[in-house]
Amino acid sequence: MRKQRTLGVLVTVLAFWMTADLFACGDKFLVAGRGTRYQRPKTARAASVLIYADPASAVAASLKKAKVESILKLEGHRAIKVQSLEELSAIVSSGRYDVILTANSDSANVQRLVKPSPDAAIVVGVDDLMKNHSLLQAIDNAVSQRDQNLKKTRSS
């Protein structure tokens, strides 16, 4: 009887000792409550995006086909679409936007409309071949660049 009790205690001690080693190595994502989440980094923030696309351009068709407005909304961005330079100039002068999406061919014209100031919107030129992931990355980069511009002026 004494041998069985000693053997039981020994097995219990070994079990607890081995459990500590099992938790020390291996994939921690398998532990309950620690699931992997695929989402934007915590440093990313929602942006106000103004989309200028001339209806006759190929970029307008590709933006519509890719459903860019709904993709931006799913990522937390606020997007407004305009189709003429007159609408664009009226909205840019009255509102505050972080990013202006436009075709590469129209980027220079749009940049002239944006007043050169630290809180000015960043103009991002896109082509009709840009994928959704690279578009979102370009918007995140533009937002961080705008935030850095604002930070520099506030610290000066």
Domain annotation covers residue 114:
yes
Distance linking the first and last C-alpha atoms of the chain = 82
Q: Model confidence over 133-147: pLDDT tens digits?
A: 788 888 888 888 888
What is the sign of the dihedral through the CA atoms of 135, 103, 80 and 65?
A: negative
* Domains in the chain, number: 1
* 118 compared with 68, residue with greater pLDDT: 68
Counting Cα atoms < 13 Å in the Cβ hemisphere of 112 gives: 4
Q: Indicate whether 85 belongs to any domain.
A: yes
Residue 24 falls inside a structural domain: no
Amino acid 3: pLDDT: 85
Give, as one character, the DSSP assignment of residue 156.
-
Is 41 contained in some domain? no
Q: What is the pTM of this model?
A: 0.67
Does residue 42 sit within a domain? Answer: no
Residue 2 lies in a domain: no
Which range marks the domain in which residue 140 is found? 48-155
Q: What is the CATH number of the domain that holds 63?
A: 3.40.50.11220
- Where is pLDDT greater, at 118 or 42? 118
